[in-house]
Structures are given as C-alpha cells and as structure tokens.
Chain A
Amino acid sequence: MGIISRAFQGRPRDHDEKLPPGQYLVHDFPVLSAGPTPRVPLDRWEFAIDTAEGEVHRWSWQEFLALPQETPTVDLHCVTKWSKFGTEWRGVSLDVLMEDVESAAEYALAYSYGGYTTNLPLEDLLDGKAWIVYEYDGEELAPAHGGPARLLVPHLYLWKSAKWIKGIRLLNEDWPGFWETAGYHNYGDPWREQRYQGD
C-alpha cells in the first residue's frame, strides 16, 4: 500500500471523467444574466417552431403540458467554467415537438422572451439530445433559471440552453446568436473546450 491513501489523490475518478477540460464542480446553481429577467404569464406564454419553408407550429401552455413528458437527469457545463452534475428536469423532448414538422433546414436559432438568441445545428436538438423543460428539481422552473420554460441542450455549453424560450426558427443557413456574435464559439462543445471564437 502506498504512503498516500486514495482519499488524498483528489476527486474521485468518476468525477474526473465526467468533468470536461478546464471545468470545476459546483453544488449551487449560479445565475448569469445578460439582461432583465422576463416575467411571462402562462396564459400568454406560447412556444413556436417556424420552418424555413414558412410553416409555423404553435403550442399554448396547456397544449405544451399535454405532450408526452420526460424527466432527464443531466450534467451542466457553463462556459464560465462551472459544471453541475445530476440536475433533474421535467419537460418535452424536441423529438416530440419536431414530430409533425417537415423541413429541409439544417440549422436552428432558438429565440427567447427578452430578445436572447442562440444558434445550433438542428441535429443537435434531435435524437434525445434536447428538451424544452419547465421543472427543475421537482419544482416549477424559477424565472431566474429560465422559467416558465427553457431549452436544455446539455451536451453543449449552457449558453446554448436558452432561458425563457419562445421559439425555434429552422434555417437553411447558420445564423449566429447573441453570444456567438459577441466573441463566443459558434458551436460550444465543452469536451473540446470551444469557448471563444477560434478555439
């Protein structure tokens, strides 16, 4: 047996493997904001997917809640270097929302109440990789964390998981969003440390 026991060798190995390069683990849930927090009454809330071909699919809050629900547990990675493991959400998979949407578009621009936007390839929203979530940790999603509902795309840095989501626009060309035009990386893969333009 070595002189230094396993307990003194830093974080457990499974944490190391789950932590992308340059990230550290937090146990609280930091709030970063780029503007005033929108307050969206549920009777006026609407989510829309509009296609490059001009079709619009809309859901009211009631219609949205009537869709099949999922409860993903995922790790979050913020570009400001904190990561949070095992966060529990409830929401609707983008696969469900996209079921009746026909489009040849390859890109998506998520847009929010309050004016925020973020872009990503459409394929990053499909095949069980993204949700519109409205509960966090068994409670309704607080406005500070993006409530009533936010996008959740946990395999990309958290700025891609647009708070206060209002809709997703499907596009034939990539259209950089708020942070993507302001110096941040266009794609934002935490495992490749794609933080800034040029990374």
Chain B
Amino acid sequence: MEHLDYQDGNALAGPLSEIFTLDVTTAQGTCAGCGRRGALAELRVYGPQPGLVARCPGCEEVVLTLVRGPKDAWLDLRGSVSLRIPITE
C-alpha cells in the first residue's frame, strides 16, 4: 500500500484557529470543481510547507490554501463555493 502523502482536514483546525474564532473544520463546504459537499475535516491536506493545500477528496481540486508568513496569513478559498458554518449561541 502506498504511503499517504496527505493528512485529513482536521489538520486545518490549529492553523485556522488563528483566523476564525469558530472551529471551521466542521463547516460544510461545496467544492467549486465538482460540487461535492462535505465538512472541511474531510479534505485532504498537503503541507504544511510551503503552505497548507486542502484538496477535495472527490476530484482532488484545490479547495483552499493557507500560507503563514511571519507577519501575515494568506487564506485563499479559490475552490470553495460556500461554507456553511454552524454557530451555537
């Protein structure tokens, strides 16, 4: 069996917690490539260097990237149509 070169989307939880106050790994996203819907935790995450690249488990297209520089973070949601984020009051 080939060694997996990615982690699941739970690997996004720590890095994204710097940006979002909610845990967005439970958010439901829609892939711009194939329309698949699923939690961010289901994405395949490559990296962390030079940046985190989260790909759709259905079509392997890039859903989001996160680059962390010393002073800025760049969150690119290029392959995400929308995110449905559960908010508990």
Contact = CB atoms under 8 A, between A and B. Distances in A.
A160 to B, nearest CB: 12
Contacts of A34: 46-47, 50-51, 53, 62
A35 B67 contact: no
Contacts, number: 57
A172 interface: no
Interface residues of A, number: 20
B72 to A, nearest CB: 7
B75 to A, nearest CB: 9
Given A37-B5, A181-B76, A183-B76, A32 B67 contact: no
A59 interface: no
A195 interface: yes
Given A33-B5, A35-B62, A36-B5, A80 B67 contact: no
A137 B27 CA distance: 46
Name A's interface SS: loop
Given A32-B50, A196-B72, A184 B67 contact: yes
Interface residues of B, number: 21
A184 B5 contact: no
B69 interface: yes
A182 B75 CA distance: 7
A76 to B, nearest CB: 14
Given A36-B5, A184-B67, A179 B46 contact: no
Interface of A: 32-37, 78-80, 115, 159, 179, 181-184, 195-198
Given A32-B49, A35-B62, 7 more contacts: A34-B50, A183-B65, A183-B69, A184-B50, A196-B72, A197-B72, A197-B74
21 contacts: A32-B47, A32-B49, A33-B46, A34-B62, A35-B53, A36-B55, A80-B49, A115-B62, A181-B76, A181-B78, A182-B76, A183-B67, A183-B72, A184-B51, A195-B69, A196-B67, A196-B69, A196-B70, A196-B72, A197-B74, A198-B72
